[in-house]
Amino acid sequence: AQTVTQSQPEMSVQEAETVTLSCTYDTSESDYYLFWYKQPPSRQMILVIRQEAYKQQNATENRFSVNFQKAAKSFSLKISDSQLGDAAMYFCAYFIYNTDKLIFGTGTRLQVFP
Amino acid sequence: EAGVVQSPRYKIIEKKQPVAFWCNPISGHNTLYWYLQNLGQGPELLIRYENEEAVDDSQLPKDRFSAERLKGVDSTLKIQPAELGDSAVYLCASSPSRAHGNTEAFFGQGTRLTVV
C-alpha cells in the first residue's frame, strides 16, 4: 500500500524559532516526487517545497528546507525563523510519476506564537 | 494569471438533494483532479482527468457521484442524492502536462459542502 504518515497532529513554535515537521512514506516505486503543501484557513493548498526522489541534495526554499532520507523513506520539513504567517495545516504528499497519483498525509497543524 | 477557480465556496443542502460543484483549471493545464477532504484529514483523490478523459476514477463512488470534463477545460462534480456523510471540502487541482516535466499541482480554494 502507498501511504504517507504524519505522526504529529499539532506542533507549535515561537516566532523566529525553528520547527521541524516529520513525514514518512511507504512506496515500492523508484521514480517519485515529494511535496510539502501549506493549507491556511482559506483552504487553498499552496506548494511550499518539492523534492525529486532521484536527487540526493536536500531541497531548500528560503526559510524552508527538507531532510530527505530515501532509504528510511523519511521527508521532514524544517521551517527556520518562523513567522506568524506560517501558521497553517501542513501536508506531506508524494507523487508517483508513472501513475500521476498525488497522495497526501493527514496533516500537521502548526501554531506560531509571538 | 488566474489560478484554479472553484464555485461555489460554500453550499448547504438537505440530504437526498442533488448538488454540483464547478472547477475552472489554469489555462493550458491538461490534468485536472477532484479531491475530497474530510475535516482533519488530508485530501483523497476522487477522479483525475487527462484532457477530457477520466483516467483514474477508481475512488469515485459511482452510485451517487459523477463528474464530467466535456471539452477538456472546466469540470463539474455532481452528487445525487447527497448523504450526511458527504459533508466535506471538495478541492479541485490542475497541473500541466507531464511532458513538460512539471509535476506541481495547483489547487483551488475548494467548496465546503454541508449536508443537513
Share the mean pLDDT of chain A.
Answer: 92
Strands of the sheet with B19-24, listed across from one edge: B5-7, B19-24, B75-79, B65-68
How much is the pLDDT for B23? 97
How much is the pLDDT for B42? 92
Rounded to whole angstroms, the Cα distance separating A8 from A106 reads 9
pLDDT exceeds cutoff 90 at A49? yes
**Are A44 and B89 inside 8 Å of each other by CB?**
no
**Are A100 and B108 inside 8 Å of each other by CB?**
no
Chain A residues in contact with B104 by the CB 8 A cut-off are 35, 47, 50
β-pair partners for A32: A96
Q: C-alpha grid cell for residue A27?
A: 512506496
At B86, phi and psi to the nearest 5?
-80, -5
Q: C-alpha grid cell for residue B75?
A: 469540470
- Best B26, B36, B37, B94 member to test A by mutation, with max A CBs in 10 Å, is B37
Pairwise pLDDT comparison (A38 vs B97), residue with the higher score: A38
Give tens-digit pLDDT for A87-100: 999 999 988 877 77
How much is the pLDDT for B33? 93
pLDDT exceeds cutoff 70 at A18? yes
**HEC sequence for B23-42:** EECCCCCCEEEEEEECCCCC
How much is the pLDDT for A70? 92
Pairwise pLDDT comparison (A73 vs B1), residue with the higher score: A73
- Best A6, A24, A43, A51 member to test B by mutation, with max B CBs in 10 Å, is A43
In this complex, which of B56, B103, B109 lies closest to A44 when CB atoms are compared? B109
Chain B residues in contact with A106 by the CB 8 A cut-off are 40-42
pLDDT in tens, chain B (116 residues): 679 999 999 999 999 999 999 999 999 898 899 999 999 899 999 999 989 999 889 899 999 999 999 888 999 999 999 999 999 999 999 988 665 455 688 999 999 999 99
A1 — pLDDT class (breaks 50, 70, 90): low
With an 8 Å Cβ cutoff, the interface of chain B facing chain A consists of 3, 31, 33, 40-45, 48, 50, 55-56, 89, 91, 93, 98, 103-110, 112
CB B103 within 8 A of CB A33: yes
How much is the pLDDT for B9? 96
Rounded to whole angstroms, the Cα distance separating B86 from B84 reads 5
